[in-house]
């Protein structure tokens, strides 16, 4: 891989597993110094061991205002700036409206939309001209999938945030875009609250609806994220790039 991000500083929230981890690896391979955050001690330890010296692995809750402030102070003191900000941290809990948990809705709102909004605000002093923000949304921000009302609402709000932030940041020559994954085979399926047989059935159901006939993988989303962060996307802002096998496109 070319060193297109050589000497750049990248922050990946939720970077210890799945899409975030794959993106962190790709950024390091492309020359970046990467900071990754997460909450799970086992995942943090695994990421630290696997990513090597070009990664700073930090325990930080992406939904917690105090921890976010502390994170960006640390980055300022240690690195001085951020060139690429990938707001990837998110949680998903599924259930129909009648049985959905209000507590889970609130948790998703704090992590999936309040957290990114706070992160953008805290990152602004560290983002210079030419910096790029990429936000991980989801195919559900435009698809009406039964059982995803709370999760979909947070992702639709996140898509809206990308548009308004793009308008505000354009005068500073800072771009912000979204990458929108369809069903991607990552550990997040095991964190949805569905039993194992439910997860298997969900995957099989999704595959029948995806024109390309398979689930995506984290590396494919990482590649799209790196494109949006690169100079190759220098005239793209406020957009959403779907990586969904055609699920929401055809």
Positions marked active-site? 151
Q: Which of 135, 132, 128, 181 is nearest to 160 (CA)?
A: 135
Residue 206 makes CB contacts below 8 A (sequence gap 6+) with 182, 183, 215, 247
CB 83, CB 37: distance < 8 Å:
no
Q: What's 183's DSSP letter?
A: S
Which secondary-structure segment (H or E) carries 33? Answer: strand 33-38
Name the maximum alpha-carbon separation found in the chain: 50
Pairing of strands 240-243, 82-87: unpaired
CB 115, CB 218: distance < 8 Å:
no
CB 142, CB 245: distance < 8 Å:
no
C-alpha 132/C-alpha 84 separation (Å) is 5
CB 12, CB 20: distance < 8 Å:
yes
Which secondary-structure segment (H or E) carries 35? Answer: strand 33-38
């Amino acid at each position: 891989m070319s060193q297109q991000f050589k000497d750049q500083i990248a922050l990946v929230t939720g970077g210890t597993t799945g899409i975030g981890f794959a993106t962190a690896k790709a950024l390091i391979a492309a020359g970046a110094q990467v900071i990754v955050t997460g909450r799970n001690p086992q995942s943090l330890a695994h990421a630290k061991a696997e990513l090597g010296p070009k990664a700073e692995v930090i325990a930080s809750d992406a939904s917690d205002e105090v921890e976010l402030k502390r994170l960006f102070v640390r980055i300022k003191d240690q690195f001085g700036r951020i060139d690429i900000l990938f707001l990837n941290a998110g949680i998903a809990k599924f259930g129909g409206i009648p049985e959905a948990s209000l507590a889970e809705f609130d948790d998703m709102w704090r992590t999936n939309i309040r957290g990114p909004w706070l992160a953008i605000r805290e990152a602004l002093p560290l983002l210079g001209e030419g910096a790029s923000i990429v936000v991980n949304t989801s195919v559900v921000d435009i698809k009406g999938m039964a059982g995803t009302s709370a999760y979909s609402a947070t992702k639709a709000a996140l898509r809206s945030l990308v548009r308004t932030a793009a308008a505000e940041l354009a005068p500073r020559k800072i771009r912000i875009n979204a990458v929108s994954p369809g069903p991607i085979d990552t550990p997040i399926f095991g964190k949805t609250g569905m039993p194992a047989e439910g997860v298997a059935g969900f995957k099989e159901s999704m595959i029948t609806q995806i024109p390309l006939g398979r689930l995506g993988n984290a590396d494919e989303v990482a590649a799209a994220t790196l494109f949006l962060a690169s100079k190759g996307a220098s005239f793209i802002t406020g957009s959403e790039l779907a990586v969904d096998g055609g699920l929401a496109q055809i």
